[in-house]
Structure 1
């Protein structure tokens, strides 16, 4: 997803306390549109998948993947980049849709460290088997256990692959743009996560 959205994530070394924002290279702060609920099982899956994928892109290290990610990823190719920074990544979950075949489709948005046109993409995933854990929030920047349930991501469509849905998705993400005061003052700022993960 990070590649699909155009994000160039941070590289960072391992730390003594990887679950605390003061000891981690990256945190994620999410906002939700009227068609999404950050406390739902769907949001847990999407947040964990996108965050985990972004961290892997930053490090190229399998240890950066969240518990259960490998089993939850059936088709999305992972890649890495070499640009390094510490950062807070602002993300949006504009909408979650259950398609006629039961597949989930999430509309995901991202912003840089200033209000600007967001990046956006669709993430598709199965919704079969045990559900991801709902109501995941807390002070940690990453989960300490598998929160994916038995669901799996099957496809991502990035900005240039949205076809006729491009303008609809762009409008939905633009409407979610956080206030300017919510943007970090620099790439090196690591703010507490929202909603975060239980410690």
Structure 2
């Protein structure tokens, strides 16, 4: 069965990167696939929401317990989640990346028809460490397009070594804040207050290709 983003998830991911970082490179592609899958699983409370290959790329002990949500109620989301790949450093076995996550622009659709923030106006700095396969050319480098998600396994033998939800380098938070497209004072605040209109759902970037056309 072909993978598709869960119906409840109506928000898209938009990525940017610091100069010198190519979002279509193999390491960056795997970082993107992992981060997008992680938040899809968190917001859907289901491992099945993740991209093809996620379960094989992430050791079981490092997965959150996605399939046993504390709050089992159905939730629907709209808006845009901003991700910025700020630092990438090669390691002995793969790559270490610092990723900025701006979820102030993801909103949950309330039972009252109003829209509520998922995150706060403060941007998070996260780190991801990946282990590269012996043959890093085993998968296609094509990893951008108009689609919301990949329909094939883009992890290609790469595996997760560690994902820290908070970066140890405190300077990363200030740096991440400056990488967002919206200044802090105009971001939707998290105050459990309803919004009549949601943050816009922007097109995914760089998105994913139509693999059946490659």
TM-score range, shorter chain: 0.7 to 0.9
Counting only pairs closer than 5 Å after superposition, residues 22-171 of structure 1 correspond to structure 2 as 25-74=10-59, 75-80=61-66, 82=71, 84-99=76-91, 101-111=92-102, 112-113=104-105, 116-131=121-136, 133-159=140-166, 162-163=167-168, 165-167=169-171, 169-171=172-174
Distance in structure 2 (CA, Å) of the matches to 1:140 and 1:23: 17
Preserved contact between residue 66 and residue 142 of structure 1 (Cα < 8 Å)? yes
Q: Is the 8 A contact 1:140 1:198 kept in 2?
A: yes
Q: Which has the larger radius of gyration?
A: 2
Cα RMSD (Å) of the superposition? 3.1
Task: Tell me if the contact between 2:29 and 2:143 (Cα under 8 Å) persists in the aligned partners.
Answer: yes
Q: Deviation at 1:19?
A: 6.1
Q: Once the 2 structures are TM-superposed, how far is the Cα of residue 130 of structure 1 from its aligned partner?
A: 3.6
More helix by share: 1
Tell me, in whole angstroms, the C-alpha distance in 2 between the residues paired with 1:24 and 1:55.
Answer: 8
**Structure 1 unaligned runs (5+)?**
1-16
Q: Distance in 2 between matches of 1:133 and 1:24?
A: 27
Aligned length: 176
CA 179–133 in structure 1, closer or farther in 2 if over 3 Å, else same: farther
Show structure 2 runs of 5+ residues with no match: 107-119, 189-194
- Is the 2:5–2:49 contact (alpha carbons within 8 Å) kept by the matching residues of 1? no
